[in-house]
Amino acid sequence: MFYEFDILPKLIEKLIKLIEKLIEKLIEKLIEKLIPHEKLREHVTYADP
């Protein structure tokens, strides 16, 4: 019974990472639909230093 508790956090972590990747792709597609122009899209990037 105890080993299940060791597996759960790892599964949840993988799920969270998958969801984060999905959300990032969704945001990218939204930006592409909202801002079809390449020049404008360059300004709407993630906060990269």
Residue 23 in domain: yes
| Whole-angstrom distance, CA of residue 6 vs CA of residue 42 | 43
pLDDT digits (tens, 9 = 90+) for 1-49: 556 667 888 899 999 999 999 999 999 998 888 876 666 556 555 555 5
Residue 49 in domain: no
- pLDDT value for 26: 95
Residue 48 in domain: no
What single DSSP character describes residue 6? H
What is the DSSP track for 8-49?
A: HHHHHHHHHHHHHHHHHHHHHHHHHHH---HHHHHHS-----
Quote the number of domains for the chain. Answer: 1
Expressed as residue numbers, the domain containing 17 is 3-43
- pLDDT value for 8: 82
- pLDDT value for 13: 93
- pLDDT value for 44: 57
Residue 13 in domain: yes
